[in-house]
């Protein structure tokens, strides 16, 4: 079974560069405190690293 990550937007994208806004949108996050569960892959981890100051990441339940 593949590992999953729960990503939550905890800081606003207001006054952030357009590339960071696009990355947050690419992760599927739309509003503050919105969470998505994503497959753990190198591309997703790279996107998270780019906006690590805006998001919180935790392991998702495997159930």
HEC per residue, the chain: CCCEEEEEECCCCCCCCHHHHHHHHHCCCCCCCCEEEEECCHHHHHHHHHCCCCEEEEECCCC
pLDDT at 1: 52
Tell me if the domain spanning 4-59 has CATH number 3.30.1390.20: yes
pLDDT at 61: 80
pLDDT at 2: 67
Name every residue whose Cβ is closer than 8 Å to that of residue 55 and which is 6 or more positions away in sequence: 7, 8, 9, 10, 11, 24, 27, 29, 48
Map out the domains of the chain as residue ranges: 4-59
Is the confidence at residue 63, as pLDDT, over 70?
no
Please write the tens of the pLDDT for every residue from 7-62. Answer: 999 999 999 999 999 999 999 999 999 999 999 999 999 999 999 999 999 999 86
pLDDT at 13: 97
């Amino acid at each position: 079974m593949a590992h999953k990550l729960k990503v939550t937007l905890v800081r606003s994208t207001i006054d952030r560069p357009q590339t960071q806004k696009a990355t947050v949108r690419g992760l599927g996050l739309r509003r503050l405190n919105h969470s998505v569960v994503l497959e753990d892959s190198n591309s997703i981890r790279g996107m998270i690293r780019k906006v690590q100051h805006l998001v919180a990441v935790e392991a998702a339940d495997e159930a």
